[in-house]
Amino acid sequence: MVVLVLGSLAIYHFKQRSIQAEIENDYIELQTEMDQLEKEEKDLMEEIALLKDEDYILELARTNYFLSKEGELIFLTDEGNQ
């Protein structure tokens, strides 16, 4: 009878250790994911702040869409060959 109780306790103990190890692994994965999401949030908040800056928007428009100021000419150059 004592052997049966000790065996049951040992099995229970090992199951609990296994469950604890799984929970710890899940926690580590979730912590890593949270760190990545926090970094992404920070980057997005910085981008939002930049997009509220009129000078930044104008520079984006000039760079990405070749928009020019009144009377300004834009010349495209192949920067890769320089």
pTM of the model as a whole: 0.59
Summarize the confidence of residues 26-31 as an average pLDDT: 98
pLDDT at residue 5 in the model: 87
Q: What is the separation of C-alpha 58 from the centre of its chain, rounded to a whole number of angstroms?
A: 28
Contact between 26 and 32 under an 8 Å Cβ cutoff? The reply is no
pLDDT at residue 18 in the model: 95
Segment 34-76, tens digit of pLDDT: 999 999 999 999 999 999 999 999 888 888 887 777 877 777 7
Tokens of 41: 């949030």
DSSP label of 71: T
